[in-house]
Amino acid sequence: MIRLCAPGQLAEAQSRGFSLDERRLIAVRKHGEVFVYHNRCPHRGVSLEWQADQFLDPSASLIRCAHHGALFLIDTGECVAGPCEGRSLKRVASLEDGEGIWIEADA
């Protein structure tokens, strides 16, 4: 297992980016649950953020691709608006305990 961060380092309605070797990931906390995805827009394969750790729309209710304006549901990664509508972000299985937010080493 790989530890992304301590639980307190990802607040409610916040997002963070992570680089693990050549893998780039994003994590978002919504309603106390953590969702982790590959940081790659399905439209053109570019990273999603417009600034470090800035992956959410102004309402903090959707993940937004800064390059194309595509909007994704936080809990499923499904694109609901934009050029990749109907496609989804690739989810990474994660778990959270008192020590951290974790992903599988081969995720």
- Residue labelled with tokens 């990273």: 47
Backbone angles phi and psi of 16, in degrees to 5: -145, 145
96, two tokens: 């959270």
Residue range of the domain that includes 35 = 2-103
Q: What is the pLDDT along the chain (107 residues), one digit of tens a residue?
A: 999 999 999 999 999 999 998 899 999 999 999 999 999 999 888 899 878 899 999 999 999 999 888 999 999 999 999 999 999 999 999 999 999 999 988 76
CATH of the domain at 55: 2.102.10.10
66 CB-near residues (< 8 Å, 6+ apart): 48, 49, 50, 51, 54
User: What is the value of pTM for the model shown?
Assistant: 0.93
Q: Count the domains in the chain.
A: 1
